[in-house]
Amino acid sequence: MPITRLENPRLYRQIADQLRGLIEKGEFPPGSRLPSERDLAAQMQVSRASVREALIALEVVGLVDVKVGNGVIVRHPPVAASPEPVMAQAGRGQWGELDEELGIDLDLNSELPPFSLLQTRRLIEPETAALAARYASADERAAIRAAYLRNCEDNRAGSETHPGDRLFHIRIAQASGNPAYAFIIGHLLGHRYGSMFRVLQRNYTPEDMPHRSEQEHRAILDAIEAGDAAGARRAMKAHLDAVIAVFSRQG
């Protein structure tokens, strides 16, 4: 099969465009299945996470249907499909209802890959939680608690966009006392509900994830309210590790 090894750091874009080219050449006709994530990763010598992001990008632009547990099915080409690269089409980030509420004006025209976003958050947010536990004012702690309660309400209502979840993480960053952290987390969570992340979430979120996330958020909240910086750091790290593990699991 004419699939080649890729070495560019932005692998998922390269993978998506190579697979699109093979689909357009008829190597994978409509109704056929693409090779499995494992096989594609082995042939290209890349991570399965990069392959998963590429397949999600192809689904966003309507070239495939990702059927968890049943493979990736090639669709009939969209009408008047654009010749531009896959990620030029798929990269349509979306801030949503929190933009006005938080007063953040972000340029999200270029969507970032979901696992890169999560890994960056995993690096930064444990420290924002520790700083919030140490320095948050009474008003800031109240705002974090209010965001947590909103997250709980979203879960009961079956929200698909989870504004309370995002608000919880942003309020913690804002309470860290470091405006750079607040800006970075706000920017990353603006991308959080871009088209690629929404597809990842739709296909790979287990039914109990909102409940588990709510419990993990409560552990973070409790540590911050107790002024326990080390505990807040541990709880945030454990939460983001759990999220990454869920979305990285084998389909």
Both 180 and 210 in a single domain? Answer: yes
Could you tell me the pTM of the whole model? 0.73
Residue 107: pLDDT above 80?
no
At residue 163, the pLDDT reads 86
At residue 250, the pLDDT reads 64
Q: Compare 94 and 42 and report the one with higher pLDDT.
A: 42
| 52-63 per-position pLDDT tens digit | 999 998 998 889
Both 184 and 126 in a single domain? Answer: yes
Both 74 and 152 in a single domain? Answer: no
**Can you list the alpha helix ranges (DSSP code H) found in 64-192?**
86-90, 98-102, 114-135, 138-157, 163-174, 179-192
Dist. CA 80–CA 200, nearest whole Å: 26
At residue 223, the pLDDT reads 98
Residue 88: pLDDT above 70?
no
**CATH number of the domain where residue 26 is located:** 1.10.10.10
| 172-223 per-position pLDDT tens digit | 999 999 999 999 998 888 655 578 888 888 888 888 898 999 999 999 999 9
Asked, for residue 86, whether it belongs to a domain, the answer is: yes
For residues 168 and 121, is the Cβ–Cβ distance under 8 A?
Answer: no
Q: Compare 84 and 134 and report the one with higher pLDDT.
A: 134
For residues 229 and 189, is the Cβ–Cβ distance under 8 A?
Answer: no
Dist. CA 240–CA 246, nearest whole Å: 10
Domain that holds residue 73: 10-92
Give the number of other CB atoms < 10 A from CB of residue 214: 18
Split into its structural domains, the chain has a count of 2
**Residue where the block lists tokens 């389909």:** 251
Axis crossing angle, helix 163-174 with helix 114-135, rounded to the nearest 10: 50
What percent of the chain is predicted at pLDDT more than 70? Answer: 80
